[in-house]
Amino acid sequence: MNNFKSAIRTCIIFLIVLTILSAAIMSAFFIGENYYYQDSRERAELSGTLDFFVCGASHAMRGFRPDILDQELGVNSYNLSCSRQTMQGRYELLNLELNRNPAKTVVLELSYDSMTRNRDEEGPEGDMYMLGKLGGFMPRIKYFFSAIRPKEYGRMYYNYIDNGVNCIKKIIHGTWTNKNTKLEKGYAAYKRDDDELNQDLKKIYHTRSFEETVYEPNVEYLNKIIALCKEKNVQLILVTTPLSKVTVCRYDNLDTFKEWYENVANENGLQYYDFNLIRDKEEKLPDSSAFSDKFHLGNKGAGTFTKMFTDVLNKEAAGEDTSALFYGSYSELESHMTLDK
């Protein structure tokens, strides 16, 4: 019996020591901002001044430049987007920021997979970033238990231990920082070379389809975002950001998603823009210089696209009808598209 009690006591002590040690290691990650998506301090400092938000996944994070939004629209904007951002994550961030800022406009990015991404199947990657993006212990704990599945706890533990160890290495080498220096109001310049942008368009034309099975929690949180913006009297604009010509050519069901979002916009009195369909896209956003990969804009392309976006908004604000600037469908776009690079 004494041996059993001693073993239990040893296990308890071990777990307490492990918990304290793990918390200390993880804290090196959570109290600093050494990963590109950690930006809670800048958002806190700007709290009470922001009136224009962009929110979405990596398409929006790599697509909207706040410096150009501010200059062209006369706003104080912030890009809340993050890689693999779930619809729940978008709602939680918007709920936080709309409650502490005089927001007038929210741009919600909706892509081909915004409604079909299955959180149960894809795992917690986006929520790992989200927990790093949030500031404060209680908001993180609340989000953790609302978004993370018990089967994912081990992966989450490993991820934050690994991040913490990396941050401790930065402390040792004097490169650790408590405030993000990589983002500019949520935007990070992005550029890399991608061989997949060099394709024979005739060979790949309509050879693939995107998944069309809707994941119902995405619809639930989209409706929550719409309701939140209405409650706060905030204008909500739905936007699909540009994809490379390679991608537009390769996939044959992009009209399906356009029709989904048009229906959402029409049912809720919102404006929806699909910038793959703007008529001068191929001229202004060529794959060779505007895109870093087949799905994401590079820094130069992001600047061009953001200016295209603000031009449309300014024309709308002046009372102009901008519908003629866009093709009515992907089918119409493709009838005008050349398949030569």
pLDDT digits (tens, 9 = 90+) for 195-235: 677 888 889 999 999 999 999 999 999 999 999 999 999 99
Percent of the chain residues past pLDDT 90, beyond the cut: 85
Q: Can you give the pLDDT at residue 193?
A: 61
**Pairwise CA distance, residues 15 & 10, whole Å:** 9
Q: Is the pLDDT of residue 47 over 60?
A: yes
Predicted confidence band of residue 8 (pLDDT cuts 50, 70, 90):
confident
Give the list of residues 6+ apart from residue 259 with CB closer than 8 angstroms, or none: none
Q: Is the pLDDT of residue 1 over 70?
A: no
Longest dimension (CA), the chain: 85
Backbone angles phi, psi at 95, to 5 degrees: -60, -40
**Pairwise CA distance, residues 127 & 186, whole Å:** 17
**What's the Cα-to-Cα distance from 195 to each of 152, 190, 276, 301, rounded to whole Å?**
34, 16, 21, 17
> What angle is formed at CA 192 by the lines to CA 191 and CA 197, rounded to 5 degrees?
110
Closest to 217 measured CA to CA, from 57, 86, 58: 86
Q: Can you give the pLDDT at residue 194?
A: 63
Contact between 297 and 307 under an 8 Å Cβ cutoff? The reply is no
Q: Can you give the pLDDT at residue 198?
A: 81
Q: Is the pLDDT of residue 18 over 90?
A: no
Three-class secondary structure assignment of 153-171: HHHHHHHHHHHHHHHHHHH
Looking at residue 53, what DSSP letter applies? E
**Pairwise CA distance, residues 193 & 174, whole Å:** 31
**Pairwise CA distance, residues 25 & 296, whole Å:** 34
Predicted confidence band of residue 14 (pLDDT cuts 50, 70, 90):
confident
Q: Within 10 A of 81 (CB to CB), how many other CB atoms are there?
A: 28
Q: Is the pLDDT of residue 142 over 90?
A: yes
Q: Can you give the pLDDT at residue 200?
A: 84
Q: Specify the pTM.
A: 0.94
Contact between 108 and 55 under an 8 Å Cβ cutoff? The reply is yes
More confident residue, 15 or 5: 15
pLDDT tens, position by position, 111-120: 999 999 999 9
Total residue length of the chain: 341
Q: Is the pLDDT of residue 341 over 90?
A: no
- Mean pLDDT, the chain, rounded, equals 93
More confident residue, 5 or 341: 5
Q: Is the pLDDT of residue 17 over 80?
A: no
Looking at residue 218, what DSSP letter applies? H
Q: Within 10 A of 25 (CB to CB), how many other CB atoms are there?
A: 17
pLDDT tens, position by position, 241-294: 999 999 999 999 999 999 999 999 999 999 999 999 999 999 999 998 899 999
Of the candidate ranges 169-173, 304-308, 336-340, the one whose mean pLDDT is the lowest: 336-340
Percent of the chain residues past pLDDT 70, beyond the cut: 96
pLDDT tens, position by position, 67-88: 999 999 999 999 999 999 999 9
**Pairwise CA distance, residues 63 & 53, whole Å:** 13
